[in-house]
Amino acid sequence: MKIQRAFLAPSLLAACLATSCADSNQVAEQATVMQAATEAPVSLKQAFKDDFYVGAALNGRQVSGNDAKALNLIQEQFNTISPENLLKWESVHPQPDVYNFEPADNYVTLGEQEDMFIVGHTLVWHNQTPKWVFEDEQGKPVSKEVLLKRMEDHINTVAGRYKGKIDSWDVVNEALNDDGTLRQSKWLQIIGEEYLQKAFEFARQADPEAELYYNDYNLWKPEKRAGAVRLVRSLQEKGIKVDGVGMQGHYGLESPSLEDIEASIKAFSDLGVKVSFSEVDIDVLPNPSGRAGADIDATFDFDEKYNVYTTGLPDSVQQQLTARYAELFDLFKKHSDKIDRVTFWGVTDNDSWLNNWPIKGRTSYPMLFDREYQPKPAYEAVLKAAAK
């Protein structure tokens, strides 16, 4: 909250009279310091209110009210939310004709109560989608027509339920390989490339006012960037409106380079669409594959040599994390005319999926808030970036 200048003036006058104005310069300096302190942003959403939304991905415990400390942070710090898993197909539509809307309803209700920009994630993805979606009763692949009908029914039911409530949908998630070619998912194998067009068409029919995004990881890579540009442009040429591209933002301490990230921001903006950083975190732990990204199928057995900070993050690494977040948000601030929102993939270190990927049971430190719900030095660095 900002304290108005009107409250500071009497204090300054009184101080001046008390010292016969002999130390008026010192008093003025103190008042300036006081004003700067009281006008400093007290939350991420306030700090970037003129730039872009800032948000977090939420889990079931948080939206059901079973994590009060996290809920307080969510309410204080963020003005947009995404569902980590609550609206993925396996969660909301686990069996034919069976929908589980309670967690998603709680999520949407929270967003409405806090007047937040609500994101739906995700309608069409190759992962966390039940086998029955792609198979008949004998376990054989369904026809193109059957799969399209199942896609349409799912999108109409889910996106239609939250019409006018969810502001933006990640319609298709991770349809590309890192080389920019289309992933050989069941969607592609059974329907063909047309599945991309149909997913956006069905989503637009279900909620004409919602923003529709394509979302993916490693979009900083030149080959994948080019593939995403081709994908969006192909849809546009077919008359399909794509509102934005979500760059997930699962990054490391040293990679990718700011230059590669910036090139992708510009490339997607040049398509006439918005850009979001939809799943931001910074992994401080060694990756056994050496690969960047978020391919949840790329998992490894537990090994202590990849779980090196079990008792806390060393100061040197904390400083690296702080510097990395600072330079990323400097870049986001620079391109705030192109970026619509920045969402962290979790609230605290304890919530992060990186505790269990690519190795289950590790202790990771990728967020701005620690396991005690306290801000880390990186949080202050991000706030400073907002003031530049």
* Catalytic positions: 174, 279
Q: What is the CA 14 to chain-centroid distance, rounded?
A: 49
In terms of Cα–Cα distance, which of 70, 78, 166, 84 is closest to 128? 84
> Torsion-angle region of residue 226: left (phi > 0), alpha (psi -120 to 50) or beta?
alpha
End-to-end CA distance of the chain: 19
Q: How far apart are CA 155 and CA 212, in angstroms?
A: 12
CA distances from 289 to 153, 223, 320, 357 (A): 38, 20, 21, 12
Q: How far apart are CA 129 and CA 122, in angstroms?
A: 10
CA distances from 213 to 88, 232, 318, 387 (A): 15, 10, 33, 29
Neighbours of 367 (CB within 10 A): 26
Strand partners, 176: 182
230: helix, strand or coil: helix
Sorted by sequence, the CB contacts under 8 Å of residue 87 that are 6+ apart come out as 104, 107, 120, 121, 122, 158
- Whether a cis peptide bond, with omega within 30° of 0, leads into 122 is yes
